[in-house]
Amino acid sequence: MRAAHPAPRRRTTYAPRVAHFAKVLTVSDRVSGGAADDLSGPALCAQLEDAGFEVVAHVTVPDGVASVAGALEELADGFSGLIVTTGGTGFSPRDLTPEATASVLERDAPGLGEAMRRASPLGALSRGRAGTIGACLIVNTPGSTRGARESLDAILGVLPHALALLAGASGQHPPEIGGSTASTS
């Protein structure tokens, strides 16, 4: 597993007193073997930073259930935040990221996967999953830079709230995602 340097710290607009942390996992035989440059991983890191996340790790592993599951377990160990994968969600025989992700998830979050698939006409070809392990939310995005960015963009607005709930926060949904500032009795 190759690691990249952590990004500078930023905060989200929702829950501004709470930093949201993210890790990016690039899944690619070619990138991990040095035969291709990673384009989607750095693009996701930049997109997350622009959205106020602090990206604390970016690693690359080859395709395959064991390599991806092992990396996800390692990234999730003791971590509270978002893990975004890029690559391995298509139909080729080595595209096994959803299977690896399913093997480590404790709970599925199918609405996030559905929202990401609706983001693009080619989204129907993505088999990406989403769900939780411990205090981590894992989402799979396609390996193409455009597909990865469109998929993440489709769910960015709800991620801070999802992470706050996953970390044990309670209360009203924030107004920017359809909640109310009024209390109910």
Residue 128 lies in a domain: yes
For the segment 65-104, what is each residue's pLDDT rounded down to a tens digit?
999 999 999 999 999 999 999 999 999 999 999 999 999 9
106 CB-contact burial (10 Å; exposed 0-12 / middle 13-18 / buried 19+): exposed
CB of 145 closer than 8 Å to CB of 124: no
Residue 181 lies in a domain: no
Total domains in the chain come to 1
Which has the closest alpha carbon to 155: 58, 51, 42?
51
Rg (CA), the chain: 16
For the segment 108-126, what is each residue's pLDDT rounded down to a tens digit?
999 999 999 999 889 999 9
Residue 150 lies in a domain: yes
pLDDT of residue 183: 44
178 has pLDDT over 80: no
Report d(CA 133, CA 90) in Å as an integer. Answer: 23
Average pLDDT over residues 8-25: 62
Residue 182 lies in a domain: no
CATH code where residue 22 lies: 3.40.980.10
The residue whose two tokens read 């952590």 is 6
- 138: phi then psi, degrees, rounded to nearest 5: -110, 130
For the segment 31-41, what is each residue's pLDDT rounded down to a tens digit?
999 999 999 99
Confidence of residue 185 (pLDDT cuts 50, 70, 90): very low
Percentage of the chain lying above the pLDDT 90 cut: 77
Q: Which domain holds residue 143?
A: 2-8+17-166
Residue 100 lies in a domain: yes
